[in-house]
Structure 1
Amino acid sequence: GGGKASLSSPPPHMTEQLFAFSFLKAEEMSSERLGRCRSLLERLRAGLLGGCGGALLRQMPDTVRKMLWTLFSEVKSLVMDVEEAEAQHARALGSHLRNVDRLLQLQRSRLACLEEGFHAQLQVLKAEFETERRAILEQHEDEIRYLQDVVLALEQNYARDDHEATTNFQSARDDIKSKSLQEKQYSRLQLGGKMEGLWEQFHAAIQSYTEATEHWKIAFEGLKQKDVKSCREIEMQAKKLQKLQVVAKARLAARLRENEEQNRHAREEKEAALGQLQELKSQMNQAWAKVHGSLARLTAQSEATLKAVAQAVGKAERVLRLAEMGRRLETEAEKVLPFYLSSLAEGELFDADRVLKEKPAESLGGGLDYVGLERFWQRFNKVRLEERALAQQLAAVSRKNQQLRGLLQQYLEGLSVSPEVLSRPNPLLAVKHKSRVPRACARRHQGAAPPLQPPWGRRLPGPHPQL
């Protein structure tokens, strides 16, 4: 396996050399790189063609050999191109160097011309500068001489002014000295006279003061002796006061104890009075609460009474309105004979009188007209009786209407022929000269029921209303 692999592929170090050589750039190759490339190419050719390299090359496949020879030819052409490029570079470099030499010669000649012009201009500028310098120096010397003359004139003027000022000052000083001496002598004479007068006045004032204060001195001595006596009396009184203070303090302490005892009793009495006051307040609050509760109950009861009275008044007003309405609706016959005779039996009348004569279980309101109420109840009973009679008449009419509806239904069914009709009795069908009409219906048709009259003269079933 290893032998076949070595025959089918070139050695790894040769492949690396080929790839390293193929990736070189021709434009970056210098003379040293070109030499190395040539030596590498020669060593590669010697390795492939000589010794084991030739055998290895012969054992390689055709494609690999073609690729290697193609690579060798390309490398060789690249080397030739590089040699031509180096020759062209050498020629270009020679022409460039010649051009550079020409440029340097031109630059040197230009610099020489410029240097000559510079020196000429420099000489001209030096000459102008020297002329200007000489003119400035001459002007400076003239100005120095002028300033020296000015300084000399100023010094002379200053010396003259100084001499004049000094002489004026000395003369003024002498005048002021003489004037001050004269004024000093004059003021000395005046002050001497004034001092003598003032001295005499001072002696006179001292003499008058001594004469005036002589009796004050005598009084002072007397007061001094009195003061000594007063001091002794004050000391004695102070001792007495100390004794009195001790006694007063003892009495004051006793009084304080008595006052504290009285205050304690007063506080106890005050606390007792406060307790009684609290009890009285609580009792008063309880009384107020009771009064408030009774007042609230009384208010509620009065409101309930007012509501009950209002309801009773409303009922009475409604009764009166109904009575007035009933009176307006009465006929002439009812006005002449308003009520029917009683339909009660003798026993029932006796029971009704007994009930009316019994004492009521509850107290009734006084001042009511029971006779008028009796008439009202009579009217009410009449209305109730009429209502019951009308209800019975309505029921009879309803039953009659129902019967007529049934007969009409039977008649309509008799007109049509159907299995259902044939299965039921048909009133229009006669069998052996016998009618199929029910006997109850025939009886109803033979005699009609008389119209119901209001049972004024007979008793209705049930209890009599409000007798």
Structure 2
Amino acid sequence: MIIEQNQKEMMYLQNVLLAMEQNIVESENEAKLKFQSMRDEIKNKSLEEKHALRIMLEIRVEDLWKQVQLAFKNYTESTEDNKIAFEALKAKDEKSAQEIETQMKKFQKIQDSMSFLKNRIARHARDNEEQNRRLRADKEVVYKQFQKLKCQMKKERAAKRSNLASLTVQSNATMKALQKIIDKGESILRKAEMCRRVETEEEKVLPFYPTSLSKEEIEKAEKNSMEKPSEELALLMQDYKALDQFWKRYNKVLLESSALEHEKAVLTNGNQKLRLLLKQYLDGISVSNEVLSQQNSLLILNSRNPHQKNVPSVPVTDTRVQRPIYNVIEAAHVVSHTL
């Protein structure tokens, strides 16, 4: 029962809703038609008014344009001279403006250049001031170093001058010593050549005499030579061991020279004795002032005998009593010039 009643109410409400929708659609259509008609009327009316207004405005614009053309013509005719002057002034103004603009650009460039140069000069002045300060400091350092080097150079010059003088003196002394050594060497070579001429066959074959040491002494000397020397003189003698043969021959010559000197002294003593005896003999057989001034047993002079006959005196240098003179070369002279 309730369901049927509910269904009926639902159907009633649906019918009411459908009727309301139909009424709303009809009202809406009527309103749209009314709106369209009113819009068309307003649009047509506005178009008519617009057309009329356009015609009026066109007529007014034509009148105004004619007035403007007339005013422009009158203005043009009245301002033709001014226009020409204006055009000339305008061209001149444009030219002046261009020139002013060019000059302003140049002035701006010059001003920029001046500013740049001023900044550059200021920067260079600062840099130069700093550089001058550094250069002055470097100058002071260099001057001090120069003075120091100058003092050192003076000292070095004095030392070098002293060394040069000392070196000159030493070189002269060395040259003299070397010249003496050269002269001595040449003298030794000449004497060696002279000695070579007077050497015997045995000395030419055996220039070095055999040792006079015994076998035990030779073995002892060899044993001592094998030991390491401890004294400085013995160490130095090791450097001159190669001169043993030279010293052997030198010692032989020295011994022979000593023997010859001794023999020369003996012969000189004998020669002096023979000269004394010869002088005594010659004094005994010759007459001279020296002999007459001395005692002579072979000559008796008695000038006090009045009975003695006057015998003519004959000078000793007379050829009648002069003895022949013989050239005599002593053996000592020959030996001294030979050695």
For the pair shown, the structure with the greater C-alpha radius of gyration is 1
Instruction: Please state which band the TM-score falls in when normalised by the shorter chain.
Output: 0.3 to 0.5
Q: When the two structures are superposed, what TM-score results if normalisation uses the length of structure 1? A: 0.30
Q: When the two structures are superposed, what TM-score results if normalisation uses the length of structure 2? A: 0.38
Asked which structure has the greater RCO (Cα within 8 Å, sep 6+), the reply is 2
